[in-house]
Structure 1
Amino acid sequence: MKTKQWVLNAIVGALYVVITLIIAPLGFGAIQIRLSEMLNHLVTFDKKYAYGIGIGVIIANVILSPFGVYDWLLGGGHTIVSFIVVIFLTRNMTSIKKKMIINTIVFSIFTFMIAFLLLIIGAEKVFWITYLSLIISQFVTMAIGIPLMLYLDSKINFRQQMK
């Protein structure tokens, strides 16, 4: 990657951490309102954004998560695995909106990793209820992010920025 791409990823990672910090108490637990998750949609414009977001998630979890190393691994793992699946599923797609819908669905489905995390540390007792609440939380957050990220792209042009 070029220096510009590394700098851009550092900015995106820092944005992820700051946005998570602003509403930190709401970003952890069985119901997560983590607005920074909207940044996951950047990958639908260019997969190189995955580096900044992935590092941002891990740093945010290291600094803020009450669940310690489990969240570093499973929270960060959730993002990395979801990105791999999204990039694979959308590799031949051209429609950003369709990519964002798939991105939203994949990130929501893979919240089972977070539900498992909350179960093994004892923060929650019933996997399926926790999983359902996480799916809904993730889906709503990322669905709201679709029009927002499309609007920002119309002003910033995320693809062009990563070139």
Structure 2
Amino acid sequence: MKTKQWVLNAIIGALYVVITLIIAPLGFGAIQVRLSEMLNHLVTFDKKYAYGIGVGVIIANIILSPFGVYDWVLGGGHTIVSFIVVIFLTRNMVSIKKKMVVNTIVFSVFTFMIAFLIMLSGAEEAFWILYLSLFISQFVTMVIGIPLMLFIDRKINFRQQMK
């Protein structure tokens, strides 16, 4: 990767941590309003953004998560696995909007990993209730992120920035 790409990924990672920190009490638990998850859509513009977001997720979880090492591994793993699946599924797609829809669905489906980590931490809710609430939280956040990220892209062109 070029120096510019490393710097952009460092900025994206830091942005993920700061946004998560601002709404920290709402970013962890059975219902998560983690606005920083909207940044996951950057991978639909260029897969190189996955590095910064992945590191940002792990750092945010290390600093803020009440679930400790479970969140470092499973929370970070959720992001990494989701990115791998999204990149694979969208590799031949041209439409950014379609890629974002796939991204939203994949990240939402894979929230079972987050439900599992909450269960490992001693949650008293049933797994399927946790999974459903996390799925809905992730889905809504990512859907809201689609028009927002498309709007920002029109101003700064995410694809061009990573070149």
Q: What TM-score results when the alignment is normalised by the length of structure 1?
A: 0.99
- Distance, in Å, in 2 between the alignment partners of 1:106 and 1:161 is 25
Aligned to 2:133: 133
Aligned to 1:98: 98
How many residues of Structure 1 are paired with residues of Structure 2 in the alignment?
A: 163
Shift of 1:125: 2.9
- Gaps (5+ residues) in structure 1? none
Q: Cα–Cα, structure 1 residues 54 and 124, in superposed 2: closer, same or farther, change >3 Å?
A: farther
Shift of 1:120: 1.1
Asked if 1:53 is matched to 2:48, the reply is: no
Shift of 1:121: 1.0
Q: Cα–Cα, structure 1 residues 91 and 14, in superposed 2: closer, same or farther, change >3 Å?
A: same
CA RMSD of aligned residues (A): 0.5
CA contact under 8 A between 1:75 and 1:113: conserved in structure 2? yes
Shift of 1:88: 0.1
Shift of 1:123: 2.5
1:75-111 deviation per Cα after TM superposition (whole angstroms, max 9, x unaligned) = 0000000000000000000000000000000000000
Q: Please list every run of at least 4 consecutive aligned residues from structure 1 whose deviation after the TM superposition is greater than 2 angstroms.
A: none
- Gaps (5+ residues) in structure 2? none
1:26-85 deviation per Cα after TM superposition (whole angstroms, max 9, x unaligned) = 000010000000000000000000000000000000000000000000000000000000
Aligned to 2:29: 29
Aligned to 2:116: 116
